[in-house]
Amino acid sequence: MRLSDATLGHLPAAIARPDYDRSALTPGIVHIGPGAFHRAHQAAYVDSILRRDPRWAISAVALNSTGVADALAPQDGLYTLALLGAETRHRVIGSITELLTAQRRDAILSRIAAASTRMVTTTVTEKGYHLDCSGALDMEHPAIVRELTGAEPSTLSGWLVAGLAARRAAGGGAITLLSCDNLADNGHRFRRSVRDLAAARDPDLARWIDDNVRFPSTMVDSITPATDDALRASVLAATGLEDAWPIQREGFAQWVIEDDFAGDRPPFDLAGAKFTRDVRGFENAKLRLLNGAHSSLAYLGILLGLTTVRDAMACAPLAAFAERLMRQDIAPSITPPAEMDLSAYIDAVLARFANPAIAHQLAQIAWDGSQKLPYRLCDTIRDARAAGRSVERLAVPIAAWFRFLERRKASGEKLVDPRADALLARAGEPAALLTMRDVIGDLGEDAEFVAAVERAYALLAPGGDVSAALV
Ligand code: CS2
């Protein structure tokens, strides 16, 4: 029997389920990119507030594939969320009430235009914003060039420019656009991604955006390993209902949102989110410490022949390296908010990484290095150089990434990265990789950093002793 509205009553009593009348919900949020992270994180927060306010259900828009709609439409948008821990808990999430794919152009645009929609949220990953290394919309990117010639929308920027134009025409009123991706200053970057295209195509619309659209920044956090067959089987065993696409995540979740909304603000604080005027300290701590250490464990762990974050943390020299990196090299670059104790934050991140209930693939974290490393490590390295601190240890994960690229080139295994061609063409030549300004920025011209990368790169040579680099 398959999970759906009609079968909810068959769930065992221990499985949490929507505590509200789903038929009374109306969509107040359009979410673009309903992948695993959205369904693990924001959709669960929304699920927790719908009893209180049914006007915030989610219309989920998948721009690049029909997979989520195909899996969830027969389930009335319902899916199971497994919260992994010593005792895994299951929760059926009911906050997604509509699933739209790019083929439904008019339906998507009317949803964005409707006055009842008060927020558009996104999880499209770093590459979905099409920004160049200065943080502006990349006007030379082929997909953006197509948007500039007025073709049908295909990128996030194009869809939102078309959607906001429809909203202005329909008198839908002010709206909040909230990026839920792991980018520093994600509100500002999201704004560039949308407003720069509007300014190039329709300057009046750009002015309307300035007057009517807010782009708060956010920090989102919850470790979400990809769905696998083991999860499908354990969900079936626990719930008795088949679910074509269940989601898993750690029990912990955090959401800090800049309090800068265009109008109505969903009461996410009632579900544990935090509204604040200053999100930057939280964002930097999370991106630089957690994600910076995650990427470091991924590239070094793969070189060591390891598979999961849990295995990497069980490798004492690697775990100790990650801890030193966080405490000694990354933490000094962060100005934490007054309420945050950085040392306790690092303790918690290390414990989360070591969670024995989670098999988070290092290969998943290794994806899209060219998009992730600028925020996760390069900003920290730049700050360390400016402050005169050593970058010897920080150079190690960059060199490990270079060796990882080289291995992929040699093995022919697919490199998941929008810059894969350029990276593979340069793999094996650190000097050439260091000239990629869109990834490394001006660090490639910094002799001290370049020398540190070259030293670490030599230590990480195939057949060499990786532990020599883990100092
Ligand atoms: C991970 C993140 O896949 C990755 O690159 O570092 O998805 C990480 O698990 C989340 O940001 C945790 O909130």
Summarize the confidence of residues 324-337 as an average pLDDT. Answer: 97
Distance CA 291, CA 278 (A): 20
Same domain, 416 and 399: yes
Show which of 276, 293, 310 is a domain's final residue. 276
pLDDT of residue 403: 98
Q: Is the pLDDT of residue 439 over 90?
A: yes
pLDDT of residue 429: 98
Rounded distance from Cα 206 to ligand 1 centre (Å): 33
Same domain, 310 and 431: yes
Summarize the confidence of residues 101-128 as an average pLDDT. Answer: 98
Show which of 251, 276, 301 is a domain's final residue. 276
User: Tokens at residue 104, please?
Assistant: 């439904």
Summarize the confidence of residues 289-307 as an average pLDDT. Answer: 98
Same domain, 287 and 217: no
Same domain, 176 and 260: yes
- CB neighbours (10 Å) of residue 305? 9
Same domain, 255 and 356: no
Same domain, 123 and 234: yes
Same domain, 122 and 190: yes
Q: Report CA-CA distances (Å) from 139 to 55, 64, 73, 145, 199.
A: 37, 21, 36, 6, 12
Distance CA 104, CA 418 (A): 26
Rounded distance from Cα 377 to ligand 1 centre (Å): 14
Distance CA 203, CA 211 (A): 13
Summarize the confidence of residues 254-281 as an average pLDDT. Answer: 97
Same domain, 387 and 427: yes
Is 346:327 a contact under the CB 8 Å cutoff? yes
Dump pLDDT digits (tens) for 71-89: 999 999 999 999 999 999 9
pLDDT-derived band at 409, boundaries 50, 70, 90:
very high
Does ligand 1 lie within 6 Å of residue 176's CB atom? no
Degrees (nearest 5) of the Cα angle 79, 85, 90?
25
Domain CATH for 299: 1.10.1040.10
pLDDT of residue 151: 80
Summarize the confidence of residues 405-432 as an average pLDDT. Answer: 97
3-state secondary structure 321-384: HHHHHHHHHHHHHCCCCCCCCHHHHHHHHHHHHHCCCCCCEHHHHHCCHHHHHHHHHHHHHHHH
Distance CA 243, CA 337 (A): 41
Same domain, 237 and 310: no
pLDDT-derived band at 464, boundaries 50, 70, 90:
confident
Q: How many domains does the chain have?
A: 2
Q: Fill in the amino acid letter for 237.
A: A
Q: Which of 123, 221, 290 to mutate to test the pocket of ligand 1 (most atoms within 8 A of CB)?
A: 290
Q: Is the pLDDT of residue 317 over 90?
A: yes
From the CA of 220, give the closest atom in ligand 1: 13
pLDDT of residue 43: 98
Does ligand 1 lie within 6 Å of residue 182's CB atom? yes
Does ligand 1 lie within 6 Å of residue 365's CB atom? yes
Dump pLDDT digits (tens) for 364-394: 999 999 999 999 999 999 999 999 999 999 9
Give the residue from 139, 212, 180, 151 showing the smallest Cα distance to 31.
180
pLDDT-derived band at 178, boundaries 50, 70, 90:
very high
Rounded distance from Cα 347 to ligand 1 centre (Å): 17
Same domain, 62 and 198: yes
Rounded distance from Cα 361 to ligand 1 centre (Å): 11
State whether the Cα torsion 115-119-124-128 is positive or negative: positive
Rounded distance from Cα 463 to ligand 1 centre (Å): 29
Show which of 226, 254, 276 is a domain's final residue. 276
Does ligand 1 lie within 6 Å of residue 254's CB atom? no
From the CA of 291, give the closest atom in ligand 1: 6
Domain CATH for 75: 3.40.50.720
Rounded distance from Cα 291 to ligand 1 centre (Å): 6
From the CA of 221, give the closest atom in ligand 1: 13
pLDDT of residue 190: 98
Residue 123's domain comprises 5-276
Rounded distance from Cα 55 to ligand 1 centre (Å): 30
| Mean per-residue pLDDT of the chain | 97
pLDDT of residue 333: 97
From the CA of 222, give the closest atom in ligand 1: 13
> Any idea what DSSP says for residue 377?
I
Q: Is the pLDDT of residue 113 over 90?
A: yes
Same domain, 294 and 245: no
Same domain, 371 and 235: no
Dump pLDDT digits (tens) for 14-46: 999 999 999 999 999 999 999 999 999 999 999
From the CA of 294, give the closest atom in ligand 1: 6
Q: Is the pLDDT of residue 449 over 90?
A: yes
pLDDT of residue 171: 98
Rounded distance from Cα 253 to ligand 1 centre (Å): 12
Q: Is the pLDDT of residue 222 over 90?
A: yes
